[in-house]
Amino acid sequence: MSLDPVDFASLLCSRLCHDLLSPVGAMANGLELLADEKDPGMRDQVMGLLADSSTSTANKLKFFRLAFGAAGGYGDEVDTGEAKTALMGLFSTTGRVQLGWMVDAPLLPKPAVKLMLNLAMMAGDALVRGGQLTVGAEQRGSAIEIVVRAEGPRLILDPEIRAAMLGQAKASDISPRTVGAWLAHEILARHGGSIQASDPTEPALLIGATLSSA
């Protein structure tokens, strides 16, 4: 059963607002402190906080624009270099996730890029204490193969996110936390694709997806 488009939009907006609340809230707090603080050293620290928060907000917006929005205009393909930059920016603030990029094609169809970024975001979030995230994509004939691998000291992929990604969840059970995984499933369903994920007991998380480029 498909998710109602209005419900999907509402869940997606809730997800984006949740993810942006922290850095935007930090900027608001920083501005309040800056208004009252007279000590030069403390003002410098607050300015650093504002700079970090504004960078984090901008990076998240750039990523969300590609992963969820209409980035790339109305064309059929997206610059993979832009996708790499967006993904690096998403995890750059904490520095806990190291990104390996194995995508040689300069352009990929927009659905493939959205799928790749959503899978990478889920795998990166599963690296609770950081680690290595490797993203690869290759076009073989009329199919695009995507592989995402995450490995770190503590690896947890939420069972509800896994179920939504694999199409095992009910539409009524989708929440703001799992809406990105549901989007990945819907992209695959609409483009004749398939997806597999390694067993939760494995030491590394491996997600493989194939979709048509036609």
98: left (phi over 0), alpha (psi -120 to 50) or beta: beta
Q: What is the mean pLDDT of the chain?
A: 88
Determine the pLDDT at residue 19: 86
17-26, 71-80, 153-162, 195-204, range with the lowest pLDDT:
71-80
Please state the rounded mean pLDDT for residues 71-97: 82
The CA distance from 118 to 120, in Å, is 5
Distance spanning both ends of the chain, measured CA to CA? 25
Which domain covers residue 163, as residue numbers? 5-212
The CA distance from 20 to 16, in Å, is 6
List C-alpha distances in Å: 43 to 22, 30, 53, 56, 162: 21, 9, 15, 20, 44
Query: What does the block give as tokens for 101?
Result: 């990029």
Determine the pLDDT at residue 165: 94
Q: Phi and psi at residue 71, in whole multiples of 5°?
A: -60, 150
Determine the pLDDT at residue 30: 81
| 187-208 per-position pLDDT tens digit | 998 888 999 999 999 999 999 9
10-14, 41-45, 209-213, range with the lowest pLDDT:
41-45
Determine the pLDDT at residue 212: 85
Please state the rounded mean pLDDT for residues 150-173: 93
The CA distance from 41 to 14, in Å, is 37
Identify the band that residue 149 occupies on the pLDDT scale cut at 50, 70 and 90: very high
The total number of structural domains in the chain stands at 1
pLDDT at 214 over 70: no
Q: Phi and psi at residue 41, in whole multiples of 5°?
A: -65, -45
Which residues are within 8 A (CB) of 194 and not within 5 positions of it... i.e. 6 or more apart? Answer: 188, 209, 210
10: left (phi over 0), alpha (psi -120 to 50) or beta: alpha
Determine the pLDDT at residue 40: 81
| 134 residue type, one letter | T
pLDDT at 162 over 90: yes
pTM of the prediction?
0.89
CATH number where 122 lies? 3.30.565.10
Query: CB 25: neighbour CB atoms within 10 A?
Result: 11
Determine the pLDDT at residue 74: 47
| 54-68 per-position pLDDT tens digit | 888 888 999 999 998
| 97-138 per-position pLDDT tens digit | 999 999 999 999 999 999 999 999 999 999 999 999 999 999
Determine the pLDDT at residue 44: 82
Q: Quick one: which of 200, 197, 203, 201 has its CA closest to 185?
A: 197
